[in-house]
């Protein structure tokens, strides 16, 4: 699906976030007010302000909690570790994780053309990247399960290397020494796309008898 929300409009609404671009044209990392795209070949670029997105989650990031982690944890163990630091699992959280990683497994996708395939079909042809002994930042959010119809519940992270040359949607990892920053989000605003694609899509859920 395509949207009409531009990168320039994003910069009014936040300085930290993640998402994608029209045509599922790569993975978006929004860090320190700069929007990055990891394309299907794994190359990182900074898209123009006119670039459009159908989906972005963003915030002006200001950490409420900071944790130094020196343990070696995989992705699942890291999520459980962060869960223990939360005020409540019923609160939306923005999470930034910066430091050294023993490994990061990430993905991205090639730009799609109409008629668009479903996301599951797109991911059948995703590109996988395996990074070793890398420094960088994970940008992410945790949404509570009761918001599953508005955003994917649980954690969602994108990664970008310190030199801004590598990244993608995080599939797995192994930490070495990282700093975890968490903001407990106090409000949530959802912007509905005004594009033709959105208006013509059938979102009706069939009732089960």
What's the confidence (pLDDT) of residue 117? 63
Q: Does residue 63 surpass a pLDDT of 90?
A: yes
- pLDDT above 90 coverage of the chain, percent: 74
What's the confidence (pLDDT) of residue 206? 53
DSSP 194: -
Average model confidence (pLDDT) across the chain: 91
Higher model confidence: residue 202 or residue 89?
89
Distance CA 104, CA 75 (A): 9
Residues 144-156 as b or e (16 or more Cβ within 10 Å = b): beeeeeebeeebb
In which order are the strands placed within the sheet that holds 34-38? 44-45, 34-38, 27-31, 16-20, 56-59
**pLDDT tens, position by position, 144-203:** 999 998 888 999 999 999 999 999 999 999 999 999 999 999 998 888 777 777 778 777
Higher model confidence: residue 96 or residue 197?
96
What's the confidence (pLDDT) of residue 185? 95
Neighbour-count burial of 132, counting CB atoms closer than 10 A to its CB (0-12 exposed, 13-18 middle, 19+ buried): exposed
What's the confidence (pLDDT) of residue 200? 81
- pLDDT above 70 coverage of the chain, percent: 93
What's the confidence (pLDDT) of residue 208? 52
On the question of a cis peptide bond just before residue 58, with omega within 30 degrees of 0, the verdict is no
Q: Does residue 68 surpass a pLDDT of 80?
A: yes
Long-range pairs of 188-191 with CB within 8 A, sequence gap ≥ 24 = 188/92, 190/150, 191/5
Neighbour-count burial of 17, counting CB atoms closer than 10 A to its CB (0-12 exposed, 13-18 middle, 19+ buried): buried
Is the distance from CB of 139 to CB of 157 less than 8 angstroms?
yes
The CATH code that applies to domain 5-187 is 3.30.1330.80
Every domain of the chain and the residues it spans:
5-187
Higher model confidence: residue 1 or residue 50?
50
Distance CA 10, CA 30 (A): 9
Taking residues 40-61, what's their average pLDDT?
Answer: 96
Q: Where are the beta strands (DSSP E) in the chain?
A: 5-6, 16-20, 27-31, 34-38, 44-45, 52-53, 56-59, 65-69, 93-108, 127-143, 154-161, 167-184
What's the confidence (pLDDT) of residue 209? 47
Distance CA 50, CA 167 (A): 22
What's the confidence (pLDDT) of residue 118? 66
Is the distance from CB of 150 to CB of 37 less than 8 angstroms?
no
Q: Does residue 61 surpass a pLDDT of 80?
A: yes
Distance CA 53, CA 205 (A): 24
**pLDDT tens, position by position, 125-149:** 789 999 999 999 999 999 999 999 8
Is the distance from CB of 1 to CB of 54 less than 8 angstroms?
yes
């Amino acid at each position: 699906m395509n949207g009409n929300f531009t990168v320039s409009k994003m910069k009014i609404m936040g300085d930290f976030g993640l998402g994608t671009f029209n045509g599922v044209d790569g993975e978006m990392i929004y860090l320190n007010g700069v929007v990055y795209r990891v394309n299907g070949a794994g190359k990182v670029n900074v898209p123009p302000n006119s670039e459009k997105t159908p989906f972005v989650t963003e915030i002006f990031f200001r950490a409420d909690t900071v944790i130094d982690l020196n343990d070696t944890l995989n992705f699942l163990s890291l999520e459980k570790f962060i869960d223990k630091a939360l005020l409540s699992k019923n609160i939306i959280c923005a999470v930034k994780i910066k430091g050294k990683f023993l490994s990061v497994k990430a993905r991205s996708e090639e730009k799609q053309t109409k008629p668009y395939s479903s996301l599951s079909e797109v991911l059948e042809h995703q590109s996988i990247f395996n990074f070793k002994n890398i420094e960088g930042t994970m940008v992410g959010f945790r949404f509570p399960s009761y918001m599953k119809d508005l955003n994917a519940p649980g954690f969602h992270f994108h990664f970008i290397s310190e030199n801004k040359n590598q990244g993608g949607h995080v599939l797995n990892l192994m930490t070495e020494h990282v700093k975890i920053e968490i903001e407990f989000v106090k409000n949530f605003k959802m912007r509905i796309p005004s594009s033709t694609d959105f208006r013509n899509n059938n979102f009706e859920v069939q009732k089960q008898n």
